[in-house]
């Protein structure tokens, strides 16, 4: 039996997709209806998301479903976290949302901490400090006297905004709301004191919907434009990492994950946020998830450094596909040089090969020269950083984790999966690669009563998608490399 048709719109920092989901004989089947690149746009000094194009691509996905004669039961949208737009008195978007890698938040953290200590913010929110968190973006806008804040009445995060364009209803969704660093997970509401102290009007913020809540249906103008009937829209775990972790095919309630795409998000799922000194010291976060869970995790810079290197080479007329780059890395000399992928110098867009050279010079290493050497350096350094964060996750959650689930587009990089297993010295279970889209679907099906809860969904996901197991190899070499890596990067200090 075939059950229903739903679409998960999953917008990653590098690409977006409309995935059709169906349940056939008790298994999930996914079909890619539409895929598009997500290209940030620099205007003057500012870096933006192309929000209207993203909305256009969502409509293209709906049209493709229509043209294949597919009747949809529901849709849901997830995207990267922290970014937002404001809606003005006339119901229209004020300004074009900034990209979290825009430099307007450089040095904002220190300025805000002069007004409000970091420990107070962490105690209230349990969220890690990243300079692009919404709290710092809003503070930077305020300091710059941005007209957005005068004209804007309502604050909507990226999926909230796209959902608003589709339905005409304004809500904030919980999993994404927690990433603002303005939400209090203990109280379960926006943190009023924090908002007051920072001068952010409470009236900006909407009612917060839990993942799985109905969030309206396609409004008439959209149905007319596309020639489709009105379809229910659900709030899913609209933070893509929340959706990705919802799709981890774990059997054990205690599990480690790595959501591997533009970012590498590593951690474990917990029932209550872990807000203590050690969590703050390790700069771990507690992001809201499905069914009242939290993701105790840490951001690692991820394949972003590789994406930007590829873009740089392309600019210079040398195009490589990702599989080609992985192949070059495999052929390069092992354990040449290392970087700390989380050094702030790698955050903003730009010439990563040049920054890697600079990093190597500053740390007394011979700079890598060929593309293969550079990619090898990036991938080995990521795998070694995974070990560091894996062990921190174990310490912080006070448990021994027996392996690592990897989900996301990065698992197509089999070398990275194998090296991750080698670095942590435990098995890696890779799959599914479309984790965020599948987690998005799972929440829609839970909302429809098709699945009882997230654990039933995870069981079905496990039965529906292959998982590749990588056993650790070359343990001695990787341990020696790890010692060198820790010393060189100074990450343990």
Q: Which candidate, 92, 2, 16, 20, places its Cα nearest to that of 58?
A: 16
Rg (CA), the chain: 22
Of ligand ADP, ligand LRH, none, which one does residue 15 interact with (CB within 5 to 8 Å by kind)? ligand ADP
Residue 176 binds ligand LRH (CB under 6 A): no
Among 240, 308, 312, 340, the residue binding ligand LRH under the rule CB under 6 A is 240
Strand partners, 235: 213
Residue 81 binds ligand LRH (CB under 6 A): yes
Of ligand ADP, ligand LRH, none, which one does residue 81 interact with (CB within 5 to 8 Å by kind)? ligand LRH
What sign does the CA torsion over 243, 272, 430, 335 have?
Answer: positive
The smaller minimum CB distance to ligand LRH, of residues 190 and 263, is found at 263
**Smallest distance, Å, CB 243 to ligand ADP?**
10
Among 6, 7, 8, 13, the residue binding ligand LRH under the rule CB under 6 A is 13
Query: Hey, which residues between 295 and 334 contact ligand LRH (CB under 6 A)?
Result: 299
Which residue's Cβ lies closest to ligand ADP? 12
What are the φ/ψ torsions at residue 104 (nearest 5 degrees)? -65, -15
The smaller minimum CB distance to ligand ADP, of residues 368 and 409, is found at 409
H or E segment and range at residue 24: strand 15-24
Of ligand LRH, ligand ADP, none, which one does residue 408 interact with (CB within 5 to 8 Å by kind)? ligand ADP
Residue indicated by tokens 């450089």: 106
**Candidate ranges 107-115, 158-166, 185-193, 259-267; the one touching ligand LRH (CB under 6 A):** 259-267
Residue 311, CB half-sphere, CA atoms under 13 Å: how many? 13
Of ligand ADP, ligand LRH, none, which one does residue 113 interact with (CB within 5 to 8 Å by kind)? none
**Smallest distance, Å, CB 462 to ligand LRH?**
23
Which tokens belong to 154?
A: 């309502």
> Under 8 Å CB-to-CB from 317, ≥6 apart: which residues?
none
**Smallest distance, Å, CB 297 to ligand LRH?**
8
- Distance (Å, rounded) from C-alpha 461 to C-alpha 466? 9
Catalytic: 102? no
The alpha carbon of residue 47 and the mean position of all alpha carbons in its chain are separated, in whole angstroms, by: 18
Strand partners, 157: 84
The alpha carbon of residue 107 and the mean position of all alpha carbons in its chain are separated, in whole angstroms, by: 23
Choice among 10, 191, 240, 342 that is catalytic: 240
Which residues are near ligand ADP by CB under 6 A?
12-15, 261-262, 303, 306-307, 322-323, 326, 408-410, 412-413
**Candidate ranges 50-58, 151-159, 237-245, 349-357; the one touching ligand LRH (CB under 6 A):** 237-245
Q: Which candidate, 102, 163, 166, 162, places its Cα nearest to that of 134?
A: 102
Of ligand LRH, ligand ADP, none, which one does residue 335 interact with (CB within 5 to 8 Å by kind)? none
Q: Which SS3 state, helix, strand or coil, does residue 203 take?
A: helix
The smaller minimum CB distance to ligand LRH, of residues 13 and 389, is found at 13
Q: Where are the alpha helices (DSSP H) in 179-239?
A: 192-198, 220-226
| Active site amino acids | 240
């Amino acid at each position: 039996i075939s059950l229903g048709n739903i679409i998960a719109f999953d917008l990653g920092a590098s690409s977006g997709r409309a995935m059709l989901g169906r349940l056939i004989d008790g298994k999930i089947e996914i079909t890619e209806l539409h895929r598009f690149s997500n290209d940030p746009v620099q205007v003057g000094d500012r870096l933006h998301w192309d929000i209207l194009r993203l909305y256009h691509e969502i409509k293209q996905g709906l049209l493709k479903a229509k043209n294949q004669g597919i009747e949809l039961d529901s849709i849901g949208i997830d995207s990267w976290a922290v970014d937002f737009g404001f809606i003005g008195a006339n119901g229209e978007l004020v300004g074009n949302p900034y990209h979290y890698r825009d430099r307007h938040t450089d040095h904002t953290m220190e300025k805000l901490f002069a007004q409000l200590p970091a420990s107070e913010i962490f105690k209230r929110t349990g969220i890690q400090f990243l300079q692009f968190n919404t709290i710092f973006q809003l503070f930077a806008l305020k300091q710059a006297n941005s007209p957005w804040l005068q004209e804007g009445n309502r604050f909507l995060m990226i999926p909230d905004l796209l959902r608003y364009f589709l339905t005409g209803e304004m809500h904030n969704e919980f999993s994404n709301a927690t990433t603002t660093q303005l939400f209090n997970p203990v109280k379960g509401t926006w943190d009023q004191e924090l908002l007051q102290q920072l001068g952010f009007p409470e009236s900006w913020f909407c009612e917060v919907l839990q993942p799985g809540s109905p969030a309206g249906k396609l409004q008439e103008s959209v149905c007319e434009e596309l020639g489709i009937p009105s379809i229910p829209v659900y709030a899913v775990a609209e933070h893509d990492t929340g959706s990705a972790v919802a799709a981890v095919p774990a059997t054990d309630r205690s599990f480690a994950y790595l959501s591997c795409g533009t970012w590498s998000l590593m951690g474990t799922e917990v029932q209550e946020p872990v807000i203590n000194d050690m969590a703050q010291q390790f700069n771990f976060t507690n992001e809201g998830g499905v069914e009242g869970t939290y993701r105790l995790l840490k951001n690692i810079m991820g394949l972003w450094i590789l994406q930007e290197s590829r873009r740089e080479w392309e600019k210079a007329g040398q195009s490589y596909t990702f599989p080609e780059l992985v192949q070059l890395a495999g052929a390069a000399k092992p354990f040449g040089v290392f970087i700390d992928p989380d050094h702030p110098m790698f955050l903003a867009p730009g010439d990563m090969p040049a920054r890697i050279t600079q990093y190597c010079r500053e740390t007394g290493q011979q700079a890598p020269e060929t593309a293969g050497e550079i990619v090898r350096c990036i991938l080995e350094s990521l795998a070694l950083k995974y070990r560091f964060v894996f062990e921190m996750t174990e310490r912080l959650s006070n448990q021994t984790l027996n392996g690592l689930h990897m989900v996301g587009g990065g698992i197509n990089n089999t070398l990275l999966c194998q090296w991750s297993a080698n670095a942590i010295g435990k098995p890696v279970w890779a799959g599914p690669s479309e984790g965020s889209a599948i987690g998005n679907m799972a929440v829609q099906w839970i909302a429809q009563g098709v699945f009882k809860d997230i654990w039933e969904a995870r069981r079905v996901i496990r039965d529906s998608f292959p998982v590749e197991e990588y056993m650790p190899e070359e343990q001695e070499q990787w341990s020696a490399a790890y010692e060198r890596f820790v010393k060189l990067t100074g990450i343990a200090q």
